[in-house]
Chain A
Amino acid sequence: AQSVSQHNHHVILSEAASLELGCNYSYGGTVNLFWYVQYPGQHLQLLLKYFSGDPLVKGIKGFEAEFIKSKFSFNLRKPSVQWSDTAEYFCAVDRGSTLGRLYFGRGTQLTVWP
C-alpha cells in the first residue's frame, strides 16, 4: 500500500486556472514534507519544503502548500497556472525516525493548455 498518496495522476487545466494537488501520508510522529517538480527533460527540482513552524509554506514560481497535521495532508496550490507549469509533481515525506530517507508519492502529471 502507498504510504504517500497523490490522489490525481493526471490533471489538465487551462492557463489562469487555479491548481490544487492533493497529498496524504500515513506516518505518525514528526515528518518533513516536500514537493518536487520534474519539468519535461529535466531532473527533479525542489519546489518547496516544510520542516516546522508556519504550516503554510511558499515555494518557487508562486507555489504554496499547506500542512494540515490532523488530516495528514500537504496539498500543493497555485492560484493561476501557466503553460510553463506543465510538469510532473511529486510529494515526498521524510519521517523523523528515518531522517533523509524520502518516501515519494507516485506523482501527478499536470498539463496546462495555453
Chain B
Amino acid sequence: DAGVTQSPTHLIKTRGQQVTLRCSPKSGHDTVSWYQQALGQGPQFIFQYYEEEERQRGNFPDRFSGHQFPNYSSELNVNALLLGDSALYLCASSRSPREQYFGPGTRLTVT
C-alpha cells in the first residue's frame, strides 16, 4: 500500500515564476491538506481540499492556489514566486480530518 507521494522531490525556480506541485494521497483517503515548512520551523497550514473543493484555508496570499481531482490527487500552485516562498511543501492525506499522513515533501528553492 503506497503512502502519500509527492512530485517533484526538488525544484529550483526564479523569482516571479510560477510552480505546480503534485500530491497523490494514500489509498482510501479523500482529504488532502498542504503545508509549508520553512527551515527551522514547524509546518504551516496552507489549505485543505475535500470533494474537489477548498474546505479550509490558512493565512497565505491568493498567489497560493490549489486543486483536487476526482481521483483525490491534488496540486498546489504558487504564482509570482518570492524568495520567501523557498521551503519544504508537505502534502498530507486523511480519510477523516482527524488523522493525517504526510508525504516526503517537495523542496522548493526560489533564486
Interface size class of chain B, counting residues whose CB lies under 8 Å from the partner chain: 20 to 34
A-B contact count (CB 8 A): 59
How far is the CB of A25 from the nearest CB of chain B, in Å? 12
Query: Is A67 among interface residues, defined by CB-CB distance under 8 A?
Result: no
Binds A, one of B68-76, B77-85, B101-109: B101-109
Please name all residues of chain B whose beta carbon is closer than 8 Å to the beta carbon of A101 when the two chains form the complex.
Answer: 33, 45, 48, 56, 58
Q: A32 CA to B103 CA in the complex, in Å?
A: 21
A32 (CB) vs chain B CBs: closest residue: B98
CA gap between A49 and B100 in the complex, in Å: 11
Query: In the complex, are the beta carbons of B42 and A43 less than 8 A apart?
Result: no
Known: A36-B102, A43-B102, A43-B105. A99 touches B43 (CB 8 A): no
A-B contact pairs, 8 of them (CB 8 A): A36-B102, A42-B104, A43-B90, A46-B100, A90-B43, A100-B31, A102-B33, A102-B45
